[in-house]
Homo-oligomer: A and B are copies of this chain.
Amino acid sequence: MARATRKVEILHAASKVVSERGIFNLTLEAVAIEAGVSKGGLLYHFPSKEALVKGMVEHLAANYRDKIATSVEDSTLENGKWISSYTDVTFNNPYPNKEMHAGLLAAKAVNSDLLDPIRDLYNEWQAAIEDDGIDPVKATIIRLATDGIWLSELFDIHHLGEDKKKEIYLKLKNWINE
C-alpha cells in the first residue's frame, strides 16, 4: 500500500525465492510473481537484477545493525555489551538470519562487491567487540563460535539439537563474565 512498503515486499519475496528454491531460481519473473507484482513493476523499483540483490543486502544489513544497536542500548552490562548482544541476537533471531542467508548467497553469486555493507557491519562489530571491556581474543572466539552455528545453518549441513544449542549459548554467555 504505502510506497516504501512495496520495495520491501519485493525484497522479502526475493529472499523467499532464494531460501526456498535456490539462487538459480532467483529470476526477475519468479520474484515478481512471489511479490504479486508484474515484471515491469519490479523493474521500476529495481532497474536490474544486480540492483535487486544490492537492495537485499543493504536492507538486511540495516536491519541487523539496528537489532544489535538496540540490544546494546538496552544492555545493563558493564563489560561485554557488544559480544553479548551479538550472541543474543544471532542465536535467538531466526528471522534476520534467514534473510541474511539469502542475501549473502545472492550477493556472492551475483557480484561479490555487493557484500560491502556486510563487510562494513563486521568491521564495526569486530572493533566494538575488541573494545568491549573483556579479553579481545576471548570475545572474538565467542563471536566466531556464534558464526559457526550460522555456517552450518546456512548450508543446512549439521544441526545441533535445540538442547545442545542452548548449552552452548549458556556456556558462551557465561564465559563473557567469567
A152: Cβ under 8 A from any B Cβ: yes
* Cβ contact within 8 Å between B145 and A24: no
- Nearest-Cβ distance from residue A151 to partner chain B, whole angstroms: 4
Contact of A168 among B24, B144, B150, B156 (CB under 8 A): B144
A145 and B138 alpha carbons, distance in the complex (Å):
11
Q: Which one, B22, B109, B123, B158, contacts A119 given CB within 8 A?
A: B158
Given contacts A119-B157, A155-B115, A157-B118, contact A141 B147 (CB under 8 A): no
Taking A138-B171, A141-B141 as known contacts, 12 extra A-B pairs with beta carbons closer than 8 A to each other, sorted by chain A number, are: A22-B112, A104-B155, A118-B157, A122-B157, A137-B171, A141-B171, A144-B147, A146-B148, A147-B147, A147-B151, A147-B152, A148-B150
* Per-position binary interface string of chain A over residues 102-137, scored 1 when its CB falls under 8 Å from any chain B CB and 0 otherwise: 001100111110010011001100100000000001
Q: Report 12 cross-chain contacts, Cβ distance below 8 Å, ordered by A residue.
A: A24-B109, A122-B158, A126-B160, A140-B160, A141-B141, A143-B148, A144-B147, A144-B149, A144-B168, A145-B148, A147-B148, A148-B150
A131 to chain B, nearest CB (A): 14
B118 touching A155, Cβ below 8 Å:
yes
Q: Which residues of B contact A164 (CB under 8 A)?
A: 137, 140
The count of chain A contact residues (Cβ–Cβ below 8 Å) is: 41
Task: Select A145's contact among B123, B144, B158, B171, beta carbons within 8 Å.
Answer: B144
At the interface, yes or no: A167 with Cβ under 8 Å from chain B?
yes
Does A42 sit at the interface, judged by CB under 8 A? no
Indicate the member of A143, A148, A152 with the most B CB atoms within 10 Å. A148
